[in-house]
Amino acid sequence: MKNYFKLLLPTFLILTCFSCDKIDDFLGDGGTDDEQPTDDAPVTSVDFSFVNTFDVDGEDSAEISAYDPDTQRLFVTNGALDEVTVFDISDVNSPSRIGSVNCPNPGSPNSVAVSNGILAVAISSVNEQENGFVEFFDTTTLEEIGIAQVGVLPDMVAFTPNGEYALTANEGEPNDEYTVDPEGSVSIIKVETMEVTTLGFSGFNAQEDALEAAGFRVFGPGADLAADVEPEFLTISDDGTKAWVTLQENNGVAVVNLSTMQIESILPLGFKDYSLPGNEIDPSNEDGRKELRSVPVFGIYQPDAIAYYNVNGMDYIVTANEGDARDYDGFSEEERMAGLVFDATAFPDAATLQLDENLGRLQSTTTLGDIDGDGDFDELYNYGARSFSIWSGMGQLVYDSGNDIAEITLDLTPDAFNGGDNRSDDKGAEPEAVSILEIGERQILFVGLERNNQVMVYDITNPSFPEFLQLLFVDGDVGPEGVLPISAEDSPTGNDLLIVSNEVSGTVTIYENN
């Protein structure tokens, strides 16, 4: 490994930030060293360091944040109190809590977004199988200025760049008995009038077989595609004409045309082969070691968060390939590989593979892999891809980080690797959050690792050749759910900031680019 990592360890903080200029050895599927292009763009400093951590209200109180540059306020979804808690961060060294936004509609705030002095709050209904709402507030007075009913279980809200529209990804999850399974949808709200257009997926029911053949999943009991899809997260193009929506459990991305107000396509993401060099994983938490191995298993990308950026007029989307299983009282797809029946021809060494120290502990699905329908498994699948990926706007894979996340965190922070090795048999570090900030002429990616409690920083200016820059974390932060960059132009300090919302610990941490 070249240019090994510089350690920044201020003695007055319980903080570690690792950084490097480039790691040539950690090129995922994007290319090899001798293909590395020359970057003629001017060098812009990217070196984030810790500023401050503050508590919100304990567990579940700091999931997603939004920032208003006009008031220099931070709005944080607070599931512990079912409110949005408001902080003044004009002094990042001493943020002050100034109030809260209590939404008139009962339910839980899932997401927030800010544009042009307006705060949007996505709220699920108390009965999460019923339509939810988006409520709008003035970021200065905190008074409600509008409300719109959207689809079932709005899990994310975002504004178009000009603020004219707000979009929600409506997950439409079933109840625990799996007797009610609402349709997933995408709602588009015209902010000025509160007019709502909600788009469903019934038009794709006839394409189900073709989509599944390309790696899409429709597998809920008795569900057609429209009921089965669960929109999770969305991102919008710079010109406001398109949105990309992750369908996490289904292993796909939907493309929404905002000019025609239609869902124009579904992009199946396929699978990742963990037997290939560069894709190795640690499949067991009971093998007594932290070690990456090639295994005859496929990863299901299943992205959670998604982020858009544009390079030379080309659209790209970045996904955090967390993975997610359906595990309800009325239906569960989860099974450890020790509990599956392996096909004897495909896996003549099944007895060895199914030992706990090999693949036995690895979480799998019963809905994929029995190719010939004879009751045993000809292929093996694990949730997520333990990576981030860069795709073209049309869904072609441009780059996957391979085993970068595992390799880098194992080298730098072995105690945190795969959540202390406790999550090796599940989804590894669980990359969940992604966001992008343009710094100078560089596109900088932030990847939140839910189980490692860390944030990775990459330069993705060249989509085919991302470069790892830093590993950020603070002792005590648990469960980074939201990573919110703030540009120097909008920042109260005049420097780029990164705001990390940690759901489990209920803390918010501020980093600054120096």
Domain tally for the chain?
1
Task: Give the C-alpha distances (Å, rounded to integers) separating 203 from 200, 208, 243, 246, 256.
Answer: 8, 10, 18, 18, 13
CA distance 453 to 400: 21
Cβ proximity of 118 and 70 under 8 Å: no
pLDDT at 104: 79
CB-based contacts of 63, cutoff 8 Å, min separation 6: 76, 77, 79, 110, 481, 482, 501, 503
- Domain assignment present for 343: yes
pLDDT at 140: 98
Q: Which residue has the tokens 């995408």?
A: 186
Reported confidence tier of residue 27, pLDDT bands at 50, 70, 90: very low
CA distance 431 to 198: 29
Taking only the tens place, the pLDDT of each residue in 477-501 is 999 999 999 999 999 999 999 999 9
- Domain assignment present for 101: no
pLDDT at 50 over 80: yes
- Domain assignment present for 447: yes
What does the buried/exposed string (b/e) look like for 349-358 if buried means 16 or more CB atoms within 10 Å of the residue's CB? ebeebbebeb
pLDDT at 2: 33
Residue type present at position 479: G
pLDDT at 380: 98
Residue percentage of the chain with pLDDT more than 90? 90
- Domain assignment present for 183: no
pLDDT at 106: 82
CA distance 469 to 459: 7
What is the rounded average pLDDT for all residues in the chain?
A: 93
- Domain assignment present for 352: yes
- Domain assignment present for 93: no
Please give the residue range of the domain that contains residue 300: 269-473
Taking only the tens place, the pLDDT of each residue in 186-222 is 999 999 999 999 999 999 999 999 999 999 999 999 9
pLDDT at 15: 42
- Domain assignment present for 12: no
What does the buried/exposed string (b/e) look like for 204-214 if buried means 16 or more CB atoms within 10 Å of the residue's CB? beeebeebbee
pLDDT at 14: 37
Strand order in 131-138's β-sheet? 109-115, 118-123, 131-138, 144-152
pLDDT at 513 over 90: yes
pLDDT at 160 over 50: yes
Taking only the tens place, the pLDDT of each residue in 229-253 is 999 999 999 999 999 999 999 999 9
pLDDT at 139 over 70: yes
Least-confidence region, from 5-9, 161-165, 322-326: 5-9
How do beta strands 262-268 and 231-236 pair? unpaired
Reported confidence tier of residue 105, pLDDT bands at 50, 70, 90: confident
Q: What is the mean pLDDT of residues 127-156?
A: 97
Phi, psi of 338, deg, nearest 5: -65, -25
pLDDT at 16 over 90: no
Q: What is the mean pLDDT of residues 468-475?
A: 98
Taking only the tens place, the pLDDT of each residue in 280-336 is 999 999 999 999 999 999 999 999 999 999 999 999 999 999 999 999 999 999 999
Taking only the tens place, the pLDDT of each residue in 380-416 is 999 999 999 999 999 999 999 999 999 999 999 999 9
pLDDT at 32 over 80: no
Cβ proximity of 253 and 247 under 8 Å: yes
**How far is residue 64 CA from its own chain's centroid?**
12
Residue type present at position 281: I
pLDDT at 76: 98
Task: Give the C-alpha distances (Å, rounded to integers) separating 213 from 183, 247, 261, 342.
Answer: 22, 16, 27, 22
As a 3-state breakdown, the chain gives helix, strand, coil percent values, each rounded to 5, of 10, 40, 50
- Domain assignment present for 68: no
CA distance 367 to 369: 7
Least-confidence region, from 44-48, 159-163, 404-408: 44-48
pLDDT at 24: 40
pTM attached to this predicted model: 0.93
